[in-house]
Structure formats: structure tokens, C-alpha cells
A and B are shown apart, each in its own frame.
Chain A
């Protein structure tokens, strides 16, 4: 029993050490979260603000097909972003991880350098690339168009003819889901590459040799050995891309124009222009629930 004051003192010390982070989490994370949660059950006042009544109206409003469609589109865009990031990021990570060690850090650094520039600035750059008077369309309606027209004069094929017509007008990339996906893939690619790289670098390549020794060709040793053993990296990268893509606001705002709206923009407009705090909070919470499910999937796979 003589040890009791000792353990109590230990506990006190532990609490003291933890208190800054507990304070931080309470004030900047937990309290706002509770506040938003509480507001989501309120009602919009006539002149904005919140009427504190216990109501599920905001959640009910979310079932409206307009918002569900936006939500479905958001899910689709986030999913497409994740898959494209995986398709580009995994081979890239594999390439980096299989270079000589002295090259790897340099290549990872090269991957990171563009991201030292402000995210907003880089997204604006995509605006200049994708818009109708942008870089892509300058090439499309300029050199490409001329080349196709010239070719059509020499070879009177109907395919070339229709291509010549098509290249006359800009592609209309801006303001589409495609433009948003391009922007998001660009923005979150390193978040896919780095975890994949970490797990591929840790992979014991004698296992790949063992698979090949046991008659597995390249594709089969990839599918049966490399993928399962680097799955933690794939899952981590996917979650790290999927979750921020789901909540994206800046990218759809700049590249999606008025036509393509994601759920992040809905939340923004509810708080900033519609002044419907309860509805904005409710949408936030639904989004958070979806992200939570994603994170749980991540942790479950990580444990395996």
C-alpha cells in the first residue's frame, strides 16, 4: 500500500504532461464538434442565426433528391480520384522504391517540391490550363486543328473530317466533373504515392523471386505476392486521398464552375450565403459519418 502515493503522483505527472494536448483537443476540436452537432438539430432563424429547438428537419432536408444527387456525385468524384491516384501513384511509388537507395530520397523530394507552392495557386494554374482560352484548348484548336485539317485535305477520310470539325471548338473541360477530378488527382497524388512507396520499399523482393521460381509470371507474382504484401500502403493511400477528396471545397469551387458542385460547396454556401447553420451542420455531420466509415475500413485492414 506504500506505493499508492507513488502511483498517484505518477498519475498527476501524466495528467500534467497531457494537459496541453487535452486542452487543445477540447477547445479546438471537441467543443466546436459538439457545437456543430447541437446546431444541426436546431432551426434556421428568420434572419439567419439558430433557433434552439430539437428538430430533425435539417437531416430530413438532406434526403431531398437535389442534395442526394450532389452527394452521390461527390462520392463518385472522390472514388474516381482515388482510383486514378492509385493507377498513377502505385507504379510511380514502385518505380521510386526500386531505384538504388541513393536515388530514392531525391525522387521523393522531387515529388514533394511542387507542393511547397500554395494549393490555391496551383489550382488556379489548372484553371489557366483547362479553361476554353487555356493551354490545352490553345493546342487543341491551334496546332492540332491545323494538322487535322491538312491531313483531311490529303486523305479524304470521314474520320479525319469529323475530327477537323471537332477540333474547331474548345474541348469544354472547364466546369466539368473531369476538371475537378484532374485538380483533385493532382492535389492528392503525393498522399497516395508516399504510403505506397513506404510499403513497397519495405517489401522483401526475395519473395517476388520465390514466386517467380514457383512458376508465377510477372503479372501473377504481382497479384499474388506484391499486391497483398503492400496492401496496407494501398489502403492508407486510398483513405488519405478519398477523405480529403470527399470534403473538397477549393478545387470544385475553382474548376467545377457553377455546373459541377460538390458537397463541400453546399456546406460552404449554407454557412456563408444561405445562412442556414443547422442545415450546413447536418450536411457536415453526414459527411463526417461517411469519412468515419472509411477510416474504420482503413484501421480494420491495417490490423490484418
Chain B
């Protein structure tokens, strides 16, 4: 697990005056399910194409299995890609599609036949060799694309939003199936997606990208619980942002004042200077609501809206004239009734560790 399957060293890629990828360094470990996550245009697909060899970096190096790729063309790289639109050859049958890579590498035809049928079995499409791609459903085409790539037993499998075109239900099923498949074959997966939930569900590690840069690389749990910037916190799940000013700081905590109306003490990793502007990020499900102050410094507000959504009840609580917070309460009791009516004062409690203090406003 220590060897790197893919390594990017300070890679940049420009298209004319547009910066697609800027100074990206990544180490993707052997056997890992690694996701590149970010909004459209963040450079995640370009990063994938740089690994595949469809694009060459303007600066920096791409290494696959420890080997410098330089200008190696895609057809000489030990990686295979599952394309966003599947890119199945429409003039070939399913079997011919899956066999293509093996034929190009001059594998004996007897072995090709065996491996193709094994690959189709692996993606649960046994015996579909003689179908044409246009006779298959989207989900089936997706599986053929997967089989066509995996049959070559690549060092690394690159997946470019492969579930993007599928409907919600199929997507969820395929997510688990893909993860399961990856664990079975033990091939390194590099997975591009803009769907944070998908990335959290499937990945061993996630790189969050924005405007061509990698903002954070971590395990899903750390990405969610310990985001390093407001963008990451905002992009992954829901987050409340309290923009405030540091009143006092010292010994690992700081007192932060929000809109000049309320103040609270919270732990910090880096001691900010007094007067510095910071953003405190708190996940909505980390906040609890109380009728009485849970401790003497508890922040309070007025319930503005109550939304019952079955498994949870959502509250919008106004803290100051400019700031509201969003709170999620699990409906754990057998008969949940609305416990905090609108327009009532409530007290907010949270584990001090749940609040992340991020520098600046943005």
C-alpha cells in the first residue's frame, strides 16, 4: 500500500489563456479508491486526462506506477478509462467492444474469448457478447464500458463521472457495486465526480478541487468533519457559516463576536490575532436545541421556521439581524412532535470540536 499508483508533481495545464490545472501535486496510493471532487470547470476531468495521456502537462510530471510518463501516448500507458458517455464503439458488438483492448495487445484469441466472457460475468452481463451497444439500456452500457476497461487488468482505472447519465436509483445501486468491484479486483480507481455524496460513499480518499487547484486531500470523514476552507465545507454537505471578529484569543481558544450582537468561545488550531475576521463553520446536525441554556455561554436565537421532513426536523434559527443558522434534529422519539414552535427563543449547544474556525470571510 506504500507504493504510489499515480503521482502528479506540480502539474499545470493551460488551454490558451485558461488555466485548467494549476500546480497540482497528488499521490494516489496503490489499490486505493481515489476521487477527484469539485464543481464543473474545476480541472478534475483535465487532471484525469493528464493521467490517461489525452493531455500533456505544460509543467510538472505525471508518474504511473513510479514511472515518469513524459510524452507517452495514451495507448502505451498502463491505464484504462471509463468515459462519461461510455464511448462504446457503435459499430461493434458488446463482445468486440470488450475484446478491443486485448486484440490490440495481440492476446491469443482463445484467451480473449475467455477473458471477455469473464469480464461480462463480473459486471453481471453474462452472455451479452453478440448484442449491439444501442440495444442496451444506459445502465447496461455503463457496465460494458466498465468490462471493456477492466478486462485489460490495468494498473489504474480512470472513471470520468461514469454514473452521471443514470437515474438516481440506479446510481445508488451502481455506487455500491462499483465500490464492491474495486475491492474485489484490487485495482486503483481514480474517480471524477461533482457529486459530493457519491465521493463520500465510495472513496478511500478525496481530493477537493476548485479553479484548477487541489484544496484538500483527505479521507471522506476528515473532509466532512475537518474541512480546511470555507469552500470545502460549503461544497461537501450543508454548513452554517458564522462570520465574526476575534475579540480575544489564547491557549487554544478564541472568543468570536458575530455581528456585534453575540459572542462565544471556541477552540482554534491556529491562534488568530485580535480583530481578525474569521468564519466559524458548524454542520447543521451538530447543533442541538434546548429550552434552557445548556451552559452559561450558550448562544440563543429565535426559531424562524420549522420544517418536518420525516426522518428529521429542520429549524431555521435567527441569531442576529444578519445571521441565521440551519439546524437538523433527528426524529429519534417514537412520536415526534414539534418541540420548538416558531417565534420561540431557543438555546444552541454544540460540541466545541464541531465548530471549525477558518481564516477570513471566503
Contacts and interface: CB of A to CB of B under 8 A. Distances in A.
Interface string B268-285: 000000000000000000
A214 B101 contact: yes
A206 B145 CA distance: 13
Interface in A194-246: 204, 206-207, 209-217, 220-221, 224-225, 228-229
A105 B79 CA distance: 37
A207 B87 contact: yes
Interface in B24-75: 52, 54, 73-75
Interface string B141-185: 000000011001000000000000000000000000000000000
Given A206-B83, A209-B74, A214 B91 contact: no
A214 B76 CA distance: 9
B62 to A, nearest CB: 15
Contact of B152 (A210, A214, A220, A229): A214
Contacts of A211: 89, 100
Contacts of A212: 54, 73-75
B83 A216 contact: no
Give the residue among A210, A212, A214 with the most B Cβ atoms within 10 A.
A214
Interface in B131-148: 148
Interface residues of B, number: 23
Interface of A: 204, 206-207, 209-217, 220-221, 224-225, 228-229
Contacts, number: 57
Given A215-B101, A215-B104, A220-B104, A210 B87 contact: yes
A229 B90 contact: yes
Nearest to B76: A215
B54 A209 contact: yes
Interface of B: 52, 54, 73-76, 79-81, 83, 85, 87-91, 100-101, 104-105, 148-149, 152
A227 B152 CA distance: 24
Contacts of B79: 213
Interface of A (DSSP majority class): helix
Nearest to A304: B91
A137 to B, nearest CB: 46
A213 B105 CA distance: 12
B118 to A, nearest CB: 17
Q: Which 6 A-B pairs have the closest CB atoms?
A: A214-B101, A210-B87, A215-B104, A212-B74, A206-B87, A213-B81
A209 B73 CA distance: 11
21 contacts: A204-B85, A207-B87, A207-B89, A207-B90, A209-B54, A209-B83, A210-B89, A212-B73, A212-B74, A213-B54, A213-B149, A214-B80, A214-B101, A214-B104, A215-B76, A215-B105, A216-B75, A220-B104, A228-B91, A229-B90, A229-B91
B149 to A, nearest CB: 8
A214 B52 CA distance: 11
Nearest to B84: A206
B99 to A, nearest CB: 10
B80 A213 contact: yes
Contacts of B152: 214-215
Contacts of B148: 214
Contacts of A216: 75, 100, 104
A215 B73 CA distance: 9
